[in-house]
């Protein structure tokens, strides 16, 4: 789980997901804005790519219907939300990959 680089508090999984959904990383302990580290941006991109590839693989191998597509989209988003906090690292400075 990520640790705030300002106050060194470790964020819980639910706090991290909450911040990700807002797409702003504001520390719930000190209120300081945090940014994703370069390594974390890279890991999240890899995670998204792998999930997308799995999505395409599964979708081309199942019976195509809007229900299975909907289920697949929900499962993919859930997998990303559940796993992303484990590859999230915070930084005080904004760095782009
Ligand atoms: Zn903090």
Kindly write down the DSSP assignment for every residue of 3-17, as one continuous string: B-TTT-PBPPHHHHH
Residue 44 belongs to some domain of the structure = yes
Q: How many domains does the chain have?
A: 1
Q: What is the pLDDT of residue 8?
A: 96
Residue 6 belongs to some domain of the structure = no
Q: What is the pLDDT of residue 11?
A: 96
- Distance (angstroms) between ligand 1 centre and the Cα of 69 equals 39
Residue 67 belongs to some domain of the structure = yes
In sequence order, the 6+-apart residues with CB closer than 8 A to the CB of 25 are 2, 19, 33, 34, 35, 36, 90
Q: What is the pLDDT of residue 66?
A: 83
Enclosing domain of residue 32 = 13-90
- Distance (angstroms) between ligand 1 centre and the Cα of 2 equals 11
Residue 1 belongs to some domain of the structure = no
- Distance (angstroms) between ligand 1 centre and the Cα of 21 equals 18
d(CA 85, CA 88): 5
Q: What is the pLDDT of residue 35?
A: 94
pTM of the prediction?
Answer: 0.76
pLDDT along the chain (97 residues), means of 10: 95 93 92 94 92 86 81 89 92 84
């Amino acid at each position: 789980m990520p640790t705030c680089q300002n106050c060194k508090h470790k964020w819980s999984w639910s706090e991290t997901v909450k911040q990700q959904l807002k797409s702003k990383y504001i520390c719930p302990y000190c209120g300081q804005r945090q940014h994703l580290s370069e390594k974390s941006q890279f890991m999240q991109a890899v995670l998204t790519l792998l999930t997308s590839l799995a999505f395409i693989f599964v979708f081309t191998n199942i019976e195509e219907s809007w229900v299975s597509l909907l289920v697949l989209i929900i499962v993919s988003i859930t997998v990303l939300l559940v796993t992303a906090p484990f590859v999230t690292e915070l930084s005080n400075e904004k760095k782009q990959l």
